[in-house]
A and B are shown apart, each in its own frame.
Chain A
């Protein structure tokens, strides 16, 4: 076995332990909690493609999570098809839709891109709230006919974890591949990448559309987890939360956001009962990470695991600088 595959056996063991744990008497409460955490882990991984891979700050990622929730809810309601199939169909529809939205949004830079993503997501959120006939408005959609395997808490617990593992390993492999290097090259120096024939908007548009599809899968799983769809799940707060997770976990490491997504979800849902001010501490930790740990908490771990490409961190000095003001470029 090559040295760089040494982590495989322990990982496989961990995966098996994880799956059989509920049958060995894991507490149903914890099983349920962890299920939610893992789904948020997938959501966080999807946002890492935005912040980590494209280097753009989007405040509208909740839109794609919501697209998964409502898309799957409506599709299952209308056709009664298999839930997992519905999730995949919705993800497949989300990808081109997101590509279109982002091709338009990517005409804008920096803060303007952040703002248009925010506005589009808020617009969708308002539509969902107001289109009562279709979405049930603030009452949400309930009584979704989920496939039986999603009704068994132990399966519901295992499926997202399997998907998360596939996504994390797959994305890390893609990140190291030629395509991944192109994505990173475009992020680090779009002008230079353009000289090699890589169109910034196209490369970022594709990355963002993949990210949205993953977010939609997370949303579909979240629907299965909750059994109902509520507009709050796609509010701006959801978008902020996933951003916090990725920043704290460490943008661009894929693992970091996955772990942070799970961890912060678990903390939030176990601490809100004991400390009412969990969000305050979360905010403080987040601000400190932005200030002092450009690679996130994940950056504190062994380098080989967390930052395999030795790339420059997104949040380092100078990142995004060239896009702050067009006028300044006159002087260069």
Chain B
């Protein structure tokens, strides 16, 4: 039985990783806490649901959802965020607005009701794990999380583009001094964040439900994961996802109402004691000495 709970925790972790990795990278390179990510998540959620309802396979629907969200993010970055390039406060406020607009837009088009995600065949079946049925779909979550992680690592560690992104995450000024144009790099990472959020949205539908509040409902969890992992760190996000996913599954197994509360408390404690996150290095402390 415990094996079943642990496996459920890992599958949650995989989902949280996909959900949060983009947000973490975007913060790393832009210094912006991207509330709009919840909006792209929602766009992906509904895009995948719509396509599944119209006969598309799950994987195609999920990839298309990522693409649609990515394009949405790119447009938002270009039209709304780029003009506020040197105004992080304004960017933060704008992403909040984008989240509200996208949530309301989805609400308008598809209505406030909870939609049924049409799942069938293998993905709707279960396997016995530890004496309890375990949904096959959750295995797909784990696989997706793993693939996304490997792809991100390959991109960041194995390509010159990834090297530039890591440079920009560490210091935008230094990157520019090295002749790197950071502006297009930011758009690119922002779009990547949109793609990941949209893909996460597609993954969420079958186990979380399809409804307009889904974006804001998962927002807090995303923040918890990126804070504990350290903003800007993909490895940290993975570790934090595992911690939060397992904590949620285990605490939730014994006291369902407490799971989220415990995780939020963990986030507050980490912010106070170690604002750079468990694995991050860039501190978020108020500097009292620097000019």
Contacts and interface: CB of A to CB of B under 8 A. Distances in A.
Asked if A pairs with B, the answer is yes
Contacts of A318: 86-87
Contact of A320 (B83, B88, B282): B88
B258 interface: yes
A293 to B, nearest CB: 11
Interface string B210-232: 00000010011001100100010
B178 interface: no
Given A243-B96, A280-B104, A328-B171, A191 B291 contact: yes
The 10 closest A-B pairs by CB, nearest first: A112-B284, A280-B104, A287-B97, A283-B101, A283-B100, A111-B33, A329-B290, A324-B31, A320-B89, A126-B261
Contacts of B290: 191, 322, 326, 329, 332
A291 interface: yes
A47 to B, nearest CB: 13
A279 B261 CA distance: 29
Contacts of B104: 277, 279-280, 283
Interface residues of B, number: 56
B204 to A, nearest CB: 19
Contacts of B97: 244, 283-284, 286-287, 290
Contact of B84 (A110, A237, A282, A291): A291
Interface residues of A, number: 62
Given A108-B284, A126-B261, A115 B92 contact: no
12 contacts: A108-B275, A108-B286, A111-B27, A112-B284, A115-B223, A123-B261, A200-B286, A236-B219, A287-B80, A324-B31, A325-B171, A325-B172
A294 B94 CA distance: 12
A78 interface: no
A291 B88 contact: no
Max count, chain B CB within 10 A of own CB: residue among A236, A282, A323, A332: A323
A315 B257 contact: no
Interface string B72-103: 00000000100110111110111011101100
Contacts of B216: 236-237
A104 interface: yes
Contacts of B93: 57, 243, 247, 286, 290, 315
Chain A contact residues: over half helix, strand or loop, or mixed?
A: helix
Interface of B: 27, 31-33, 80, 83-84, 86-90, 92-94, 96-98, 100-101, 104-105, 107-108, 170-174, 216, 219-220, 223-224, 227, 231, 257-258, 260-261, 264-265, 267-268, 271-272, 275, 282-288, 290-291
A130 interface: yes
Contacts of A326: 282-285, 287, 290
B27 A120 contact: no
A116 B271 contact: yes
A114 interface: yes
Contacts of B33: 111, 114-115
A107 B274 CA distance: 11
Contact of A120 (B88, B100, B268): B268
Nearest to A56: B89
A183 B97 CA distance: 28
Given A315-B90, A317-B86, A328 B96 contact: no
B89 to A, nearest CB: 4
Contacts of B284: 108-112, 326
A321 interface: yes
Contacts of B219: 236
Interface string A295-332: 00000000000000000001111111111111111011
A165 to B, nearest CB: 29
B89 A130 contact: no
A127 interface: yes
A326 B285 CA distance: 8
Contacts of A325: 31, 171-172, 282
B92 A57 contact: yes
Contacts of B288: 194, 200
A20 interface: no
A320 B172 CA distance: 16
Contacts of A13: none
A122 interface: yes
B272 to A, nearest CB: 6
B100 A282 contact: yes
Contact of A323 (B94, B220, B268, B286): B286
Contacts of A321: 86-88
